[in-house]
Amino acid sequence: MTKRAITTEDFMSLEVFSDPQFAPDGTTYAYVSTTINDKKEYESNLFVQDLNEKTARQWTFGHHKNSNPRFSPDGTKVLFQSNRSGVPQLWLLPLDGGEAKQLTTFKNGAVNAEWSKDGKSILFTASLDKDDDVANQNELSKEELQKEKEEKSKQPLHVTNLKYKSDAQGFLDDKKAHIVIYDVEKETFTQLTEGDHHYSYQDISPDGSTILFSANLSEESDYELKSDIYLLDTATKAITRLTDGDGAYYTAKYSPSGNKIAYLGHKQQYLNATLTELYVYDVETKETVCLSEDWDFQLGDLMVGDTRLGGSEGGPVWSSDENKVFFIGSDNGAVNLYEVSLTGELKSLYQADSHVFGFSYHPTNESFVIGVSTPTVPCNFYLLDSKATVEQLTDANREFLDNVATSVPESITFKAKDGWDIHGWVLRPYGFEEGKKYPLVLEVHGGPHAMYGQTFFHEMQLLAAQGYVVLYTNPRGSHGYGQKFVDACRGDYGGGDYGDVMSAVDYALETYDFIDQERLGVTGGSYGGFMTNWIVGHTNRFKAAVTQRSISNWLSFYGVSDIGYFFNKWQHGYDLLDDPKALWDISPLKYADKVETPLLILHGELDYRCPIEQGEQFFVALKHLKKEVEFVRFPGANHELSRSGKPEMRVERLNHILRWFDKYL
């Protein structure tokens, strides 16, 4: 049977896995499955699977978002987060039968909960006003929430902080994220942090005497992009800073004995292009060792994709004997699972042409449940045992995979004009026939410090299904190829990075005789949108372009983006107040009169990362010059439109991309 081509709507039928969590006895694990329901809304539910069984059992039901499953240390209960009552709250599910019990009724919700090691307490984060009493919190009904939202929309926004908006959260208020502890036996809440700062809970010591959190407690925090790791005494609430205040530090974990702390971060030597380091702090000697000092790859998951929903553990996680630390890292277009000894010996535990998006470690069995995505399989869980044997546990999206054809990427490496090695991939079109010529679409990722690679990408597969050769690369500035490479685009936007993507096109045309050099298209979002705008202002080689959530004017970007006030300085070396002419010279808007390529501009109305005025300016300039241009504005959409935006808006976006390329290519 010939498999059919992928369609625009197919992403809505996919099941997306995340957050695997071993049960204490190591015989079962829980996870989160996210789908899109008949109402075209995201919903997520909890599942549990016995390692000896082929199918999983569903734990939660309904059109809600249930996530963050955490087994109690004795394995009798599961704590999870659910928005079924209106906002995210904490719920407790007994595993011997019975209904889930709601633990929190905080007005603004309770999130990211974890158990203490003895199971007597639960720690979580809550958004609180200065005078809130955690002992008397009452959530609003859905009707009251809606009324409050409507009333708030009628009030003026009084802004006093530099950081007053966020693409993820919209306009910010005076509430702060604080850490709260819940006594399971007494059923009481105690607020552990206070003041006019945000606190991010990390871990609690085995004896429960101290907790780890990350925060910026400086009086200048509104102007800084730093964070430190702190210790908080749970009895006295005394706070001790663990790191030096010279960078960004986060994701801290106690070793099983509590004698050591592993954490991630860096000193911002290359600002936001700095590779993440892994540190270990000795609680007794107060000495810190950097285990990753000699490495040259990025810790964590920097993969770009459009079918990942929900967070997962990425490390650091301690081994049971405290001699090793486990984590995932991004390298050469793949995300792998690693371990490092306390003497700095690095070992790959799972490395393939794939994307390890999360893992759970069981200390007794010395085994892992790992979540893996590949370019042709959206997601599955695997058991990686102590003997390095890999066993597939799930068979997600089987019906989809049995009926739909996917294109296998061909890895390419080519030389840029200045001799740098650039890595990328080519997808052949659906139903490929030798001797036939096909149009090509070049994709440019955002970031710029991110990474294309070995993961399932619906948009790429869709373009291939529509008869296009798809070319996607990791130009300089991308993660996965070392510190020098990821830093190479800073101060050189539109220079070497532009040369890299154009060299990719040259290489593809020289290598693949089935590409029609007269039918070339280009698209990209965010930084990729900037690059698309830059490309059409500097070459006429492309017959069609689609720019998404783009940047066209760095001068105005400085004042309108939620990151503009620092991003210009960090990426270009100057901002609006330092050198407006230099910013104008690297703004695609300056070259609008040179654009001859038909351009489609796609932008979300609520994008605060690359605000919609960036698209508006480019459209008006091009239209005023009587260029071939169209502008599509997506209501209610922020910067995440293509990844986690409203499903119906995602479909519209994809259809517009296909329409434009079909018209001109």
Give the chain's count of helices (H) and strands (E): 12, 39
Distance CA 14, CA 12 (A): 6
Euclidean distance between the first and final Cα of the chain, in Å?
30
Q: Are 314 and 327 in contact (CB under 8 A)?
A: yes
> How far is the CA of 117 from the CAs of 112, 152, 272, 312, 352, in angstroms?
16, 41, 35, 20, 34
Q: Is the pLDDT at 457 greater than 90, yes or no? A: yes
DSSP secondary structure letters along 5-39: PP-GGGGGG--EEEEEEE-TTSSEEEEEEEEE-TT
pLDDT at 190: 96
Task: Give the position of tokens 């202002």.
Answer: 537
Residues written for the chain: 665
Distance CA 44, CA 37 (A): 10
For residue 134, the tally of other CB atoms under 10 A from its CB is 19
Q: Is the pLDDT at 143 greater than 90, yes or no? A: no
* Residues pairing with 153 in the sheet: none
Q: Which amino acid is at 454?
A: Q
pLDDT at 382: 98
Q: Which amino acid is at 632?
A: V
Helix (H, G, I), strand (E, B) or coil at 221: helix
The arithmetic mean of pLDDT across residues 426-447, rounded, is 97
Phi first, then psi, for residue 182 (nearest 5°) are: -110, 125
Per-residue model confidence as pLDDT tens digits over 619-641: 999 999 999 999 999 999 999 99
639 is catalytic: yes
pLDDT at 333: 98
Q: Is the pLDDT at 129 greater than 80, yes or no? A: yes
Per-residue model confidence as pLDDT tens digits over 18-30: 999 999 999 999 9
For residue 423, the tally of other CB atoms under 10 A from its CB is 21
Phi first, then psi, for residue 150 (nearest 5°) are: -65, -40
Angle between helices 647-664 and 458-465 (to 10 degrees): 40
Task: Give the position of tokens 């005789």.
Answer: 513
Nearest to residue 325, comparing CAs of 307, 313, 334, 311?
Answer: 313
In sequence order, which residues have a C-beta less than 8 Å from that of residue 153 and are 6 or more positions away?
A: none
166 is catalytic: no
Nearest to residue 247, comparing CAs of 273, 266, 230, 271?
Answer: 266
The reply to whether CATH 3.40.50.1820 applies to domain 407-552+587-664 is: yes
- Vertex 465: Cα angle to 462 and 471 (nearest 5): 70
Phi first, then psi, for residue 648 (nearest 5°) are: -65, -35
DSSP secondary structure letters along 86-102: SS-EEEEEETTS---EE
For residue 46, the tally of other CB atoms under 10 A from its CB is 26
Q: Which amino acid is at 271?
A: L
Average pLDDT value for the chain? 96
Distance CA 292, CA 62 (A): 44
Q: Are 665 and 544 in contact (CB under 8 A)?
A: yes
The arithmetic mean of pLDDT across residues 426-451, rounded, is 97
> How far is the CA of 27 from the CAs of 48, 51, 369, 416, in angstroms?
11, 6, 11, 51
Distance CA 241, CA 226 (A): 13
- Residue 541's pLDDT band (cuts 50, 70, 90): very high
Q: What does the CA dihedral 421, 423, 426, 427 come to, rounded to 10 degrees?
A: 180
**Cis bond upstream, residue 635 (ω within 30):** no
Q: Are 161 and 171 in contact (CB under 8 A)?
A: no
The arithmetic mean of pLDDT across residues 240-269, rounded, is 96
Q: Is the pLDDT at 427 greater than 90, yes or no? A: yes
Q: What does the CA dihedral 284, 290, 291, 296 come to, rounded to 10 degrees?
A: 170
Q: Are 264 and 212 in contact (CB under 8 A)?
A: no
Distance CA 100, CA 90 (A): 10
Distance CA 148, CA 316 (A): 40
DSSP secondary structure letters along 465-490: HTT-EEEEEE-TT-SSS-HHHHHTTT
For residue 482, the tally of other CB atoms under 10 A from its CB is 16
- Vertex 311: Cα angle to 309 and 315 (nearest 5): 145
User: What stretch of H or E contains 151?
Assistant: helix 142-153
In this structure, are strands 599-604 and 629-634 parallel, antiparallel, or unpaired? parallel
User: What stretch of H or E contains 261?
Assistant: strand 260-266
The arithmetic mean of pLDDT across residues 350-379, rounded, is 97
The arithmetic mean of pLDDT across residues 498-515, rounded, is 98
Nearest to residue 580, comparing CAs of 604, 556, 551, 605?
Answer: 556
Residue 518, judged by CB atoms within 10 A of its CB (0-12, 13-18, 19+), counts as exposed
- Residue 141's pLDDT band (cuts 50, 70, 90): confident
Six-digit token pair at 544?
């069609």
- Vertex 353: Cα angle to 352 and 359 (nearest 5): 55
Query: What whole-number percentage of the chain has pLDDT above 90?
Result: 95
pLDDT at 96: 87
> Of residues 449, 479, 603, 639, which has the active-site annotation?
639
> Of residues 526, 550, 587, 642, which has the active-site annotation?
526
pLDDT at 149: 86
Distance CA 587, CA 87 (A): 41
Q: Are 370 and 356 in contact (CB under 8 A)?
A: yes
**Cis bond upstream, residue 598 (ω within 30):** no
pLDDT at 30: 98
Q: What does DSSP assign to residue 386?
A: T
Buried b / exposed e over 163-191, threshold 16 CB at 10 Å, is: eebebeeeeeeeebbbbbbbebeeeebeb
Six-digit token pair at 427?
């997808």
Six-digit token pair at 231?
């210790």
Distance CA 326, CA 358 (A): 11
Distance CA 423, CA 459 (A): 20
Per-residue model confidence as pLDDT tens digits over 38-80: 989 999 999 999 999 989 999 999 999 999 999 999 999 999 9
Per-residue model confidence as pLDDT tens digits over 462-492: 999 999 999 999 999 999 999 999 999 999 9
User: What stretch of H or E contains 153?
Assistant: helix 142-153
- Vertex 392: Cα angle to 390 and 397 (nearest 5): 150
> How far is the CA of 474 from the CAs of 351, 367, 444, 448, in angstroms?
19, 33, 8, 9
Domain ranges, ordered by start, for the chain = 407-552+587-664
